[in-house]
Chain A
Amino acid sequence: MSARATGATTLRVLRQLRRDPRTIALLVVVPCALVFLVDQLFADRPLVFQQVGVPLLGLFPLVSMFLVTSITMLRERTSGTLERLLTLPLEKLDLLVGYAIAFAAVAAVQATIVSLVGFGLLDLTVVNSKLLVIALAVANAVLGMALGLFLSAFARTEFQAVQFMPAFILPQILLCGLLVPREEMAEWLQWVSALMPFTYAYDALSRAATDGELGAAFWADVLVVGGVTVFALALGAGTLRRRTP
């Protein structure tokens, strides 16, 4: 791996994003607006807003980076730039880590702004440090990026890539415990839920918000999120083929 090629890739991805101010605005404004919407929705039930609000802060970056990465990677595949890069002295890891750093940086900005809105304007509170929530949000963003990178290999067009959102993300949002506590789900749904990365991302955030002492269960969640990220990146690296049919 080379720091030069990795750094160059990070800069390049950020430059590309900078050329697209509308996407940047959407990345920041949409989550803020949604958190506000949830706040208003549960105006009479502040406890519910507390339970839902904090995990939402940390899950937005996961969803946004999943989408941004799958589209960016798909473009990289269809425009031929990926084929060119793979004929150059560039390790696949340089490319993947370069992407991961760029999107983690964007996610950090996104999570910070949404947190400022949530904690500052909408009276969200957490038992633990707010920075921990932001750190979890960044970890989730890298998870989203890794999943997007891997799944982009299975989309031929941007239409298909966008459909991964309802196909892959929505079921996880439904089953992660955000809407219905996992213990109250049918047993088979609990099993399905246990196989989904979102469940652990949600659980970690929810514990960070409400558990006084962060115990083994929290760290197990963090470990799963980290493990799935590495696993998805490895699978993603496997889909970057130097030779294609």
Chain B
Amino acid sequence: MTAAISVRGLRVTRGGRQVLRGLDLEVEAGRVTGLLGPSGSGKTTLIRSIVGTQIVAGGSVSVLGLPAGARSLRRRVGYMTQAPSVYEDLTVHENLAYFARIVGVGADRVSRVVERVGLAANRDQVVVTLSGGERARVSLGAAILNEPEVLVLDEPTVGLDPVLRRDLWSFFHELAESGTTLLVSSHVMDEAARCDRLVLLREGSILADATPDDLLSRTGTDDLDEAFLELVQRGTA
């Protein structure tokens, strides 16, 4: 496989606590990889290390063959933070238009993205009046404006209704088919089944890295939640 993201022996300490303890990971190019794990397992820290905003204590992270956070990667990697990082006092369109100017894409692309994330009806609404799910989609829209080669999404579907979640996941797959590499974190196991590959994270270490089917057959379960439990039990046994 061609790895778009390659993590070697990554160690991160936050607030005196070791959050990631020597983590190794390869994320395949042109696939949707799910990063699953409970709250506090280190998902966001790993994601921040990959986009280059996290100070790391050791190890290496490379993205598209370059060290994470490299200057030229700022045009090639899209990042959606967990909390919607958009301006609350601007409209949907004003937000996206601003980020579009920064990444250097035109007005037509902004309109397409507004449609794509399903906010055409809210185009001129000020973000503070939007629901949590709508805000998250503004944030997602900002991350996909310049069609980055690697898209890193931190819990993009939290609080969305099931129909919208399904739509977004099929959108992620469309992006992957056109060659984008996606790393999507979630703490909801039922989303795991929609990924090409799963990385299960627990207490800063990788518990499993496999396809959903592999995971089920390896644990002899028919449900990813149970598979996760089984793996935890084996790990502690």
Residues of A that sit less than 8 Å from B by CB = 4-5, 7-9, 11-12, 15-16, 19-20, 79-81, 83-90, 242-245
Binds A, one of B33-41, B95-103, B113-121, B207-215: B95-103
Interchain Cβ contacts under 8 Å between A and B, 22 examples: A4-B101, A12-B87, A12-B98, A15-B94, A20-B89, A80-B84, A81-B87, A84-B99, A84-B142, A86-B53, A87-B52, A87-B53, A87-B74, A87-B79, A88-B74, A88-B103, A89-B75, A89-B102, A242-B53, A243-B52, A243-B53, A243-B69
- Alpha-carbon separation in the docked complex, A86 to B15 (Å): 22
The residue that B53 contacts in the complex, of A4, A15, A16, A244, with Cβ under 8 A, is A244
| Band of interface residues on B | 20 to 34
The residue that B103 contacts in the complex, of A9, A11, A89, with Cβ under 8 A, is A89
Contact check, A83 vs B81: say whether CB atoms are below 8 A apart.
Answer: yes
For the complex formed, measure the closest distance between the CB of B230 and the CB atoms of chain A, giving whole angstroms: 35
Interface positions, chain B 69-123, Cβ under 8 Å from A, are: 69, 74-75, 77, 79, 81, 83-90, 94, 98-99, 101-104
- Alpha-carbon separation in the docked complex, A75 to B12 (Å): 26
Contact check, B85 vs A84: say whether CB atoms are below 8 A apart.
Answer: yes
- Alpha-carbon separation in the docked complex, A88 to B146 (Å): 11
- Alpha-carbon separation in the docked complex, A83 to B44 (Å): 13
- Alpha-carbon separation in the docked complex, A89 to B69 (Å): 11
Contact check, B101 vs A84: say whether CB atoms are below 8 A apart.
Answer: no
- Alpha-carbon separation in the docked complex, A191 to B83 (Å): 47
Interface positions, chain B 144-175, Cβ under 8 Å from A, are: none
Contact check, B14 vs A245: say whether CB atoms are below 8 A apart.
Answer: yes
- The verdict on B126 contacting chain A, using a C-beta distance below 8 Å, is yes
A16 cross-chain contacts in B, Cβ below 8 A: 87, 89-90
Chain A residue at smallest Cβ distance from B86: A81
- The verdict on B205 contacting chain A, using a C-beta distance below 8 Å, is no
A79 cross-chain contacts in B, Cβ below 8 A: 83, 85, 87-88
- The verdict on B51 contacting chain A, using a C-beta distance below 8 Å, is yes
Query: How many residue pairs at the A-B interface have CB separations less than 8 Å?
Result: 76
Contact check, A19 vs B101: say whether CB atoms are below 8 A apart.
Answer: no
- The verdict on B60 contacting chain A, using a C-beta distance below 8 Å, is no
Chain B residue at smallest Cβ distance from A12: B98
Once A19-B90, A87-B74 are accepted as A-B contacts, the answer to whether A244 and B54 lie under 8 Å apart by CB is: yes
- Alpha-carbon separation in the docked complex, A12 to B99 (Å): 10
- Alpha-carbon separation in the docked complex, A6 to B150 (Å): 26
For the complex formed, measure the closest distance between the CB of A235 and the CB atoms of chain B, giving whole angstroms: 20
- Alpha-carbon separation in the docked complex, A20 to B207 (Å): 49
- The verdict on B55 contacting chain A, using a C-beta distance below 8 Å, is yes
Interface positions, chain B 7-57, Cβ under 8 Å from A, are: 14-15, 51-55
A9 cross-chain contacts in B, Cβ below 8 A: 98
B103 cross-chain contacts in A, Cβ below 8 A: 88-89
Contact check, A87 vs B126: say whether CB atoms are below 8 A apart.
Answer: no
The residue that B94 contacts in the complex, of A12, A85, A87, with Cβ under 8 A, is A12
A83 cross-chain contacts in B, Cβ below 8 A: 53, 81, 85
Contact check, B104 vs A4: say whether CB atoms are below 8 A apart.
Answer: yes
Contact check, B81 vs A84: say whether CB atoms are below 8 A apart.
Answer: yes
Contact check, B14 vs A5: say whether CB atoms are below 8 A apart.
Answer: no
- Alpha-carbon separation in the docked complex, A15 to B79 (Å): 24
Chain B residue at smallest Cβ distance from A86: B53
For the complex formed, measure the closest distance between the CB of A103 and the CB atoms of chain B, giving whole angstroms: 16
For the complex formed, measure the closest distance between the CB of A35 and the CB atoms of chain B, giving whole angstroms: 30
Contacts beyond the supplied A79-B87, A89-B103, A243-B53: 14 A-B pairs with Cβ under 8 Å: A4-B104, A5-B101, A8-B98, A8-B101, A9-B98, A80-B84, A81-B87, A83-B85, A87-B53, A90-B102, A242-B69, A244-B53, A245-B14, A245-B15
Chain B residue at smallest Cβ distance from A7: B101
Contact check, B102 vs A85: say whether CB atoms are below 8 A apart.
Answer: yes
For the complex formed, measure the closest distance between the CB of A89 and the CB atoms of chain B, giving whole angstroms: 5
A5 cross-chain contacts in B, Cβ below 8 A: 101-102
- Alpha-carbon separation in the docked complex, A84 to B141 (Å): 13
- Alpha-carbon separation in the docked complex, A81 to B81 (Å): 9
A90 cross-chain contacts in B, Cβ below 8 A: 74, 102
Contact check, B102 vs A88: say whether CB atoms are below 8 A apart.
Answer: yes
Contact check, B104 vs A89: say whether CB atoms are below 8 A apart.
Answer: yes
B55 cross-chain contacts in A, Cβ below 8 A: 243-245
B14 cross-chain contacts in A, Cβ below 8 A: 245
- Alpha-carbon separation in the docked complex, A90 to B142 (Å): 14
The residue that B79 contacts in the complex, of A84, A242, A243, with Cβ under 8 A, is A84
